[in-house]
Amino acid sequence: MCGIAGIVNLKPEPINPFILKRMTQAIAHRGPDSDGHLLSSFHKNIPTVEFKDPGELPSKENGLLNNCNLGLGVRRLNIIDLSKAGDQPLSNENGSIWIAYNGEFYNYRDYSNDLKDKGHVFKSGTDTEVIVHLYEEHGIEETLKRMNGMFAFALYDTNIKKLYLVRDRFGIKPLYYYYNNDLFAFSSEIKALLQHPEISAEVDEQSLLQNFKLRYVASPKSIFRNILKLPPGHYLTLAYNKELKMHQYWNILERINTNQNHGEDYYVEKYRDLLTKSVKRRLISDVPFGAYLSGGVDSSTIASLMSRLISVPVKTFNVSFGVNKSCDEDVYAKQVADFLKTEHHKLTIAEDSFKLIKSIIYYLDEPIVDPAVVPTFLLSKYAKNYVTVVLTGEGSDETNFGYSKHCIEHELKLFNLYCSFPYLIKKILNSQPFKKSLFERFESIIQKQSNLFKTGLFNNNDLKELLHFDVSPDDLNRCNIYEKFESQIKDFDQRMIWPLLDIHSWMLDDLLLKVDKMTMAHSLEARVPFLDHELAEFALSIPPELKLKGNKTKRLLRKASGTLLPGNILERRQHGFNVPVKDWLEKGLKEITYDLLSESQVKRRGYLKYEKVQSILREHYSGRKDWSLPIWGLLVFEVWCQAFLDEKYSKNDIID
């Protein structure tokens, strides 16, 4: 696991090695064990130049550096082959092909011996080097077909003067890039790109609208103007003639096979087998590893399989909010840990943990409105004291129908049944003590159906009143995730629409990004077994009725885990990573809220209308309406502005 960065000057100017060094220093947390840099030419056949300290490079007078207009940089976190032989950038035998790699290629050992038999010479035992030789042998497309893993990498072929930028199938590892006619740059994190003097931190207003609508910015855009995310399952190529091309090498929608006709036992057994293989692959490591354990069926199943696959107790970690038990699952986590006999560690989060918001937003790069970043950040810092790798349960909800919204078809049937009742029965129901909750539930169902694919932090009217720039109907329509993917998913079973949308939106641009950034902030690698592409392809091909029955979610996963966990854990409903934001706003965060969202601050910033901000705060603190999450979103945005627009604090000011 690493952090990568690179520059290609498309104008006739050499790379400034000090800029490249600043870029890698900005992401040193992703790879504290070593760093390396490479200078080469995108036009001429000249020797490559490797360096760690740009001050040690030869002077420009010797002419070599004057022709170096391509640079690669890597910060390495040692996971596989801890020796210096695995340091990057790394090349083939003759130095004609170079790679800067972030991630894990889990099945690399399946190919290393065959490559050696074909005459390829290895200087390390890393998965990274296998990619270089696979590319030599098969080219980029065939190499990617063979790779099972999570990755984001740059590969430069000096023979044809072509740069490849690649991202894994689900977008588990982030990769950003900037491109204009004179400059191409990329990195694992945006803060590294902003070290380049030609790349400025400017807000993209459409992205800001989307951030306040969806709680994140949907790929391929970012919150920054002209800084883009490489889409998952894609690679781009940049040629010496400045031609930039995007290629899709994998699409989950094309990998779903709904024409299977098997009994339930077949699906249960095969799913369990594929999940076991996935977990086993993700135990390849030369450093200590463990697992996050919430006590839910996802993380508990992963921990249980790990316990069966290794001979020592699994190190497990969970988080508690102490006084706020409504947000906790620690009782269930402890039960599973005792059942599996793991080496369990619980972190109790302090009531004032929200004060870390500056550090958290700095590492996030973007103003994602997800309060779960706080416990994820703190748990990652805590786990790093014991391990360097953790396995987590991300991806299970999306592939196994785990969210309550996936039950909407069942709920609509109940609502339609209620509507068909004779008047007298409805009158009796209306007089019962459960009348209020009954109608609130049905109201929620109607709201879900009418706005099925329009989730949001603020509704459209609120956004028009809040934002200080014009918001047109077309702008709002571009925030509609369903419309973006409608043509691709409309022919699937209706029950699959939500999960497929989540995979392409919420999971990609919030969930996975949050886990990567919050773990890597502490040099901790997170692996996600449920997103093994072979497992996910099979899971999404399972008939929906086997995964979802009535309001019972993850039905098939629960059956597959039947012999692995206690019965009450298998039957638990989805809990989610609840965070006491409302409590924070009522207590220690209240004064900070009024300070960060003061009239002078909001008007100086210029993106929000103070009248609407004031109205939101007044309604919330008077108890008329709960605006907890939107207020959190406003706070996150202001802190983000201070960090990235004002440059009010740097990494040196961050308290980890």
**Domain spans, the chain:** 2-200+227-251, 259-401+498-570, 404-495, 581-653
Polymer length of the chain? 656
CA distance between the termini of the chain: 20
Tell me the fold of 259-401+498-570: Rossmann fold (3.40.50)
Please state, in angstroms and rounded to a whole number, the distance separating the CA atoms of residues 143 and 148.
10
User: Does residue 428 surpass a pLDDT of 70?
Assistant: no
CB 648 within 8 Å of CB 642: yes
Task: Report the pLDDT value the prediction gives residue 391, as an integer from 0 to 100.
Answer: 98
DSSP 8-state class, residue 217: P
Beta strands 343-348; 315-320: pairing state: parallel
CB 43 within 8 Å of CB 161: yes
pLDDT (average), residues 248-274: 95
Residues whose CB is less than 8 angstroms from the CB of residue 526 and which lie 6 or more positions away in sequence, other chains included: 380, 389, 390, 391, 392, 394, 515, 516, 519
Distance from the Cα of residue 113 to its chain's centroid: 33
CB 74 within 8 Å of CB 112: no
pLDDT (average), residues 36-42: 94
Question: CA nearest 340: which of 565, 599, 522?
Answer: 565
Task: Report the pLDDT value the prediction gives residue 435, as an integer from 0 to 100.
Answer: 45
User: Does residue 426 surpass a pLDDT of 80?
Assistant: no
**Count of CB atoms within 10 A of residue 245's CB?**
9
User: Does residue 272 surpass a pLDDT of 90?
Assistant: yes
CB 540 within 8 Å of CB 547: no
Phi, psi (5° rounding) for residue 139? 85, 170
- Residue with the larger pLDDT of the pair 6 and 484: 6
pLDDT band of 651, cuts 50, 70, 90: low
Angle formed at CA 415 by CA 410 and CA 421, multiple of 5 degrees = 130
Lowest-confidence segment of 72-86, 425-439, 448-462 by average pLDDT: 425-439
Helix 205-214 × helix 628-640 angle, to 10°: 150
Phi, psi (5° rounding) for residue 30? -75, -20
Phi, psi (5° rounding) for residue 424? -65, -40
Task: Report the pLDDT value the prediction gives residue 436, as an integer from 0 to 100.
Answer: 45
User: Does residue 486 surpass a pLDDT of 70?
Assistant: yes
Question: Scanning the structure block, which residue is given the tokens 């000057």?
Answer: 9
pLDDT band of 422, cuts 50, 70, 90: low
Tell me the fold of 2-200+227-251: Glutamine Phosphoribosylpyrophosphate, subunit 1, domain 1 (3.60.20)
User: Does residue 114 surpass a pLDDT of 60?
Assistant: yes
pLDDT (average), residues 570-583: 81
pLDDT band of 448, cuts 50, 70, 90: very low
Residues whose CB is less than 8 angstroms from the CB of residue 209 and which lie 6 or more positions away in sequence, other chains included: 463, 467, 471, 475, 476, 479
> One fold for both 2-200+227-251 and 259-401+498-570?
no
Beta partners for 239? 162
pLDDT (average), residues 141-166: 97
Beta partners for 76? 2, 34
Task: Give 400-416 pLDDT, tens digit per residue.
Answer: 987 766 665 545 455 45
Q: What is the DSSP string of 572-641?
A: PPP------HHHHHHTTHHHHHHHHT-HHHHHHH-SB-HHHHHHHHHHHHTTSS--HHHHHHHHHHHHHI
Mean pLDDT, the chain, integer:
90
Task: Report the pLDDT value the prediction gives residue 447, as an integer from 0 to 100.
Answer: 47
Task: Report the pLDDT value the prediction gives residue 446, as an integer from 0 to 100.
Answer: 45
Please state, in angstroms and rounded to a whole number, the distance separating the CA atoms of residues 271 and 535.
7
Phi, psi (5° rounding) for residue 547? -100, -20
Q: Is 394 exposed, middle or buried (0-12, 13-18, 19+ CB in 10 A)?
A: buried
User: Does residue 215 surpass a pLDDT of 90?
Assistant: yes
pLDDT band of 427, cuts 50, 70, 90: low
DSSP 8-state class, residue 56: G
Please state, in angstroms and rounded to a whole number, the distance separating the CA atoms of residues 300 and 315.
13
**Count of CB atoms within 10 A of residue 235's CB?**
23
pLDDT (average), residues 478-495: 82
Helix 264-281 × helix 297-309 angle, to 10°: 70
CB 601 within 8 Å of CB 341: no
Beta partners for 3? 75
Question: Scanning the structure block, which residue is given the tokens 């929000």?
Answer: 608
pTM, full prediction: 0.92
Task: Give 159-195 pLDDT, tens digit per residue.
Answer: 999 999 999 999 999 999 999 989 999 999 999 999 9
Three-state DSSP class for residue 115:
helix
Q: Which two tokens stand for residue 394?
A: 């991300």
Angle formed at CA 647 by CA 641 and CA 648, multiple of 5 degrees = 85
Q: Which two tokens stand for residue 404?
A: 């309550």
Secondary structure of 307-345 in HEC code, one letter for each residue: HHHCCCCCEEEEEECCCCHHHCCHHHHHHHHHHHCCEEE
Residue percentage of the chain with pLDDT more than 90: 74
Task: Give 500-528 pLDDT, tens digit per residue.
Answer: 999 999 999 999 999 999 999 999 999 99
What is the residue type of 378? L
CB 4 within 8 Å of CB 152: yes
pLDDT (average), residues 635-644: 96
